[in-house]
Amino acid sequence: MSATKVDAPVLALDGPSGAGKGTIGQICALKFGWHYLDSGAIYRGLAWLAHDQNVAADDVSGLVNLVDAMVLVCHVRENDVAQIEINGQMVTDKLRTEEAGEIASQIAPIPEVRASLLNMQRRCRKAPGLVADGRDMGTTVFPDSEFKVFLTASAEIRAQRRFDQLKAKGFDVNLARLLESIQARDVRDSSRATSPLKAAEDALVLDTSDLTVDEVVTRILNLVN
């Protein structure tokens, strides 16, 4: 047990972009009555703030200053994506764009940025529990979490899912370009030196390519119960 261990249990849900972490994580959080942390939204939120305030993606001290002034609130709703509020502005749709994802993926490898975001994420661990979705929840942010699940799926299936989601929201998207961008992001997220995307040794690895949302949720409920 680590010195930072607190009472609230954590379900760490990691995996690549489009593996279903957001959908599954929010269903689990609502079923358990736990808090939900969308850590990708934190990276996307910082990317959006940087873009909005003309801070370059390689300006390390500028990015850390933005983190210090960033207040992010995640509102979970039944049958809807979590609504993200940053510094008082509702920015959910702005964060889901490919551009925000791209900038997020450029700033995510910077060790000083990751370090400055650690406490913000750890503060979300509150009773009665937390579902934390991301890349390094089980390995770095909450290494002592009680439950660890690593969700994955083929890049083609993940690209198709993202395509369907964006299309449904009225965005003009191209499937081949989405696939390329997902593959490039996988390489960047997995090969960075600080907290790369990888399953914790004690994580349950679930390939969701051929599973329905209900099937994945049932497996996670069985694990937690």
Q: Using the rule CB under 6 A, which residue among 189, 203, 206, 216 binds ligand DC? A: 189
Residue (9 or 40) nearer to ligand DC, CB: 40
* Interface map 12-51 toward ligand DC (x if CB under 6 A): -----x---------------------xx--xx-------
b/e for 197-224, b at 16 or more Cβ within 10 A? Answer: bebbeebeebebeebeeeebbebbeeeb
> What sign does the CA torsion over 92, 98, 99, 102 have?
positive
For ligand DC, the binding residue among 46, 67, 104, 182 (CB under 6 A) is: 104
As a whole number of angstroms, the distance between CA 131 and CA 28 comes to: 7
- Residue type present at position 124: C
Q: What is the pattern of x (binds ligand DC, CB under 6 A) and - over residues 140-159? A: --------------------
Q: Are 31 and 225 in contact (CB under 8 A)?
A: no
Whole-number minimum distance, CB 225 to ligand DC, in Å?
26
Beta strands at 10-14 and 130-134: parallel, antiparallel or unpaired: parallel
- Report the residue from 23, 105, 116, 139 that binds ligand DC according to the rule CB under 6 A: 105
Please pick, from the candidates 129, 134, 142, 153, the single residue that binds ligand DC as defined by CB under 6 A: 134
Closest listed residue to residue 150, CA positions, set 161, 136, 164: 136
Interface residue with ligand DC among 11, 37, 57, 136 (CB under 6 A) is 136
Decide whether 11 or 108 has the Cβ nearer to ligand DC: 108
The tokens for 22 are 């957001």
List the 83-86 sheet strands across, edge first: 72-75, 83-86, 89-90
Site string for ligand DC, 56-75 (x = CB under 6 A): --------------------
Task: Quote the least distance from Cβ 105 to ligand DC, whole Å.
Answer: 3
Asked if 11 and 134 count as a contact pair (C-beta separation under 8 A), the reply is no
CB atoms within 10 A of CB 2: 8
* Residue 162 binds to ligand DC (criterion: CB under 6 A): no
Q: In the bound complex, what is the minimum distance in angstroms from residue 182's beta carbon to ligand DC?
A: 9
Under the rule (CB under 6 A), what is the footprint of ligand DC? 17, 39-40, 43-44, 101, 104-105, 108, 134-136, 185, 189
